[in-house]
A and B are shown apart, each in its own frame.
Chain A
Amino acid sequence: AQSVAQPEDQVNVAEGNPLTVKCTYSVSGNPYLFWYVQYPNRGLQFLLKYITGDNLVKGSYGFEAEFNKSQTSFHLKKPSALVSDSALYFCAVRDTSGTYKYIFGTGTRLKVLA
């Protein structure tokens, strides 16, 4: 079965420090991977995606993600965290069996401490 795992329920980081939010995936075939962010009482906002090409993908608000095929990972990174980055982050993979569904991880809450 295709799946996405986010092993950390919460990540705490000091403002100005680099941050990493982890994601691993399991799909058959080539993966199409996405990161979304959710602020309180809001819907999900698209951050970035990996389709093919460079393993380092750049997205909105200074975020980037590193695709690693051998480790089946797609970790979200930012060189310098801001307090305003505090939110819930979801990793997702597009189903490859022809249904085009999005399969989401359980989410990681990021807290950036001033």
Chain B
Amino acid sequence: NAGVTQTPKFQVLKTGQSMTLQCAQDMNHNSMYWYRQDPGMGLRLIYYSASEGTTDKGEVPNGYNVSRLNKREFSLRLESAAPSQTSVYFCASNTLQGRNTEAFFGQGTRLTVV
């Protein structure tokens, strides 16, 4: 039972390069999320997808785009990476839109932009 799988685990980019972070879940969850984690800032929501076919901006969406490819997959794209996007990125999912359910997290992608 893999849960939420993120690829890659580590990545170094040069300023201006682009890349896509992949996330897939095998729990038949409806909602998926992308967070970034920075020291002293906790987790901040970048984008989320309440259900297949919908995406919405979170707290810090600038510089990012997302695609909910199907129910399983939710990708995060950096079109032109900047050093301020150096962070650890987490994908999460949960089963229902009801508020009483917890989210399940992937292992994270550590991204460094030089």
Could you list which residues of chain A lie within 8 angstroms of chain B, going by C-beta atoms? 6, 9, 32, 34, 36, 41-46, 49, 51, 90, 94-96, 99-107
Q: Is the CB of B105 within 8 A of A102?
A: no
Q: Is the CB of B42 within 8 A of A90?
A: yes
Which of A6, A45, A90, A101 has a CB less than 8 Å from the CB of B33? A101
Q: How many A-B residue pairs have CB under 8 A?
A: 60
> Is B111 in the interface zone, CB < 8 Å from A?
no
List, in ascending order, chain B residues with CB within 8 A of A49's CB. Answer: 100, 102
List, in ascending order, chain B residues with CB within 8 A of A44's CB. Answer: 43, 90, 92, 105
**Knowing A42-B107, A43-B108 touch, does A100 contact B99 (C-beta < 8 A)?**
yes
Q: Is the CB of A100 within 8 A of B102?
A: no
- Tally chain B residues at the interface, Cβ within 8 Å: 27
List, in ascending order, chain B residues with CB within 8 A of A102's CB. Answer: 33, 45, 92, 103
**A90 vs B103: C-alpha distance when bound (angstroms):** 13
> Is B75 in the interface zone, CB < 8 Å from A?
no
**Knowing A45-B105, A90-B42, A90-B43 touch, does A32 contact B58 (C-beta < 8 A)?**
no
Apart from A6-B42, A95-B99, A106-B42, 5 more pairs, CB < 8 Å? A32-B99, A41-B108, A45-B105, A94-B99, A99-B56
**A41 vs B10: C-alpha distance when bound (angstroms):** 11
